[in-house]
Amino acid sequence: MFRRRPLDQPVGVARRLAAGRFTVEIAGGSVVGHHYPENYDVLHVDETLPLAVVCDGMGEGDGSRVAGATATRTFVEQVRAAWPTVDAAGLRTAAAVAQTRVRQAGAALVGLTGCTLTALVVEPDGGQGWLVQIGDSRAYRLRDGLLELVTVDHTMAWLGVLHGWWPAGSPEAVRARYQLLRYVGHPDRPDPDLLAVPLRRGDTWLLCTDGVSDQLGYHRLRDLLAARRDPKRTAQALLDASLDAGGDDNATAVVLRVHPTLPAPR
């Protein structure tokens, strides 16, 4: 059994937020794991908007800590300021401002200041959600029993495995996992991937850092997401499983479930 540390962020009470014809229920948490002394992951589950963000700092130290906190805070501020407008242009702007502020924050620090960012925001009318992706944190969707990885890892490992340069479990692939091609704080300020994703009743979404996805294989992720309807219990089960599987990294999980909005009583 694992022992919880003070820096762990227990899974909080799930939020239920209206988005037109849907209600989205969201819960998330984060654990340090058994390898690092601190947690360099950052998560945000918004109190009023159907918005969730996970960031994973690169490496250890001040640069990692500052990048994740700055990117998360900036992205959330930008989405809130633009609300109720949610579109590709606004989300690109939010990511660009995050890039700029992380670069500015890193100018006063020694070493790398950078992080990943994966966010899901649902339009006010519930017509669709938007995924914003930069780095190798991930977004998965469980629909009708099928778990799909919707985002792409921006790493040399992803390119190498995809194009057959080396087998997935090879030493080359393992080393290439740490070579990020895009991240927040990159000197070239690369753009994120933006994906418009339709929502359906019963969909379950998972946003997670690689402390979850690297520790838990596809079938384990699918089974844990499918076993419970409650996002709070599901997120906690994912974090517990990541620790039981070794806890080799900080681990963060946000689970979002889509429900129909019930008509108001007459």
Q: What is the mean pLDDT of the chain?
A: 93
CATH of domain 16-247: 3.60.40.10
Bridge partners, residue 195, by sequence: 131
Tell me if the pTM is above 0.85: yes
Mean pLDDT of 194-222: 97
What are the tens digits of pLDDT across the range 31-69?
999 989 999 999 999 999 999 999 999 988 999 999 999
Instruction: Please determine, for residue 1, whether its predicted confidence score (pLDDT) is greater than 50.
Output: no
Domain boundaries, the chain: 16-247
Mean pLDDT of 65-90: 98
Question: In percent, how much of the chain has pLDDT > 70?
Answer: 95
What are the tens digits of pLDDT across the range 107-164?
999 999 999 999 999 999 998 999 999 999 999 999 999 999 999 999 999 999 999 9
The confidence score (pLDDT) of residue 184 equals 98
Task: Compute the distance between CA of residue 73 and CA of residue 3 in angstroms, rounded to an integer.
Answer: 29
DSSP symbols for 33-91 = TTT-SS--EEEEE-SSSSEEEEEEBSSSSHHHHHHHHHHHHHHHHHHHHHTT---HHHH
